[in-house]
Chains A and B, each alone.
Chain A
Amino acid sequence: SQKIEQNSEALNIQEGKTATLTCNYTNYSPAYLQWYRQDPGRGPVFLLLIRENEKEKRKERLKVTFDTTLKQSLFHITASQPADSATYLCALRSNYQLIWGAGTKLIIKP
């Protein structure tokens, strides 16, 4: 069956360090993958998109990698700040719709 997996346990990171979140998928061949941020009581907010022919994408302190052989995307936040604390969701495109992971809660400790 098709599946997207994100670490269900919260990730605790010390402020200033790099946070790395993982998104693994099986039985998909997505054309692209997206990362979103979701704060409590709010809808997801788009952060980055990476296409299947791109290895890496950057935006300010954010970096996403996409390995279609490993079927994995990594999402990095460098120089993390307490304001980066949120749940981060990955989503991939399949048959004209986005399929979502359950998200990983990131906690940045001051």
Chain B
Amino acid sequence: EAGVVQSPRYKIIEKKQPVAFWCNPISGHNTLYWYLQNLGQGPELLIRYENEEAVDDSQLPKDRFSAERLKGVDSTLKIQPAELGDSAVYLCASSAGGTSGPDEQYFGPGTRLTVT
């Protein structure tokens, strides 16, 4: 079974430029998460999807970040314009879904973003 796929693995951009990250979750997983992880810290949730609906985007900086999950499968996270403080690892995870009960999450390898 293929795991969560993310691309690109690494991205270096200048500040004020746009950037996009792509995620393909595990087949059949209804719930998809985007996290941000800084060095030495745990993941911080940016947005959670149940199928194609964003059910929790309270931590997403909506002035510059946007996300979509078309057809409830793949997802794209975009930053425009990027700021120096956006440098971090962006992780995508998926789980079998549902809002009750345990939600063991499966993570992709992440995209390491460096903003110069």
- Chain B associates with chain A: yes
Chain A residues near B (Cβ < 8 Å): 4, 8, 32, 34, 41-46, 49, 51, 89, 91, 93, 96-98, 100-103
CB distance from A40 to the nearest CB of B (A): 10
Flag if A49 contacts B102 (CB, 8 Å): yes
What residues on A are CB-neighbors of B108 within 8 Å? 43
Flag if A98 contacts B109 (CB, 8 Å): no
Chain B residues near A (Cβ < 8 Å): 4, 40-45, 48, 55-56, 91, 93, 99, 102-110
What residues on B are CB-neighbors of A96 within 8 Å? 48, 55-56, 99
Flag if B42 contacts A97 (CB, 8 Å): no
CB distance from B109 to the nearest CB of A (A): 6
**Given the complex of chains A and B, what is the CA–CA distance between A4 and B44 in angstroms?**
13
Q: CB < 8 Å: which of A4, A51, A97 contacts B56? A: A97
CB distance from A24 to the nearest CB of B (A): 14
Flag if B93 contacts A97 (CB, 8 Å): no
**Given the complex of chains A and B, what is the CA–CA distance between A49 and B105 in angstroms?**
11
**Given the complex of chains A and B, what is the CA–CA distance between A51 and B100 in angstroms?**
13
Flag if A103 contacts B102 (CB, 8 Å): no
Closest-by-CB residue of A relative to B31 is A96
**Given the complex of chains A and B, what is the CA–CA distance between A98 and B106 in angstroms?**
13
Flag if A46 contacts B104 (CB, 8 Å): yes
Flag if A89 contacts B109 (CB, 8 Å): no
What residues on B are CB-neighbors of A91 within 8 Å? 42
CB distance from A78 to the nearest CB of B (A): 23
What residues on A are CB-neighbors of B103 within 8 Å? 93, 98
Flag if A102 contacts B41 (CB, 8 Å): yes
Flag if B43 contacts A44 (CB, 8 Å): yes
In the complex with contacts A96-B56, A96-B99, A98-B105, A43-B4 CB distance below 8 A: yes
Flag if A43 contacts B107 (CB, 8 Å): yes
CB distance from A34 to the nearest CB of B (A): 7
**Given the complex of chains A and B, what is the CA–CA distance between A102 and B110 in angstroms?**
17
CB distance from B59 to the nearest CB of A (A): 9
Flag if B43 contacts A100 (CB, 8 Å): yes
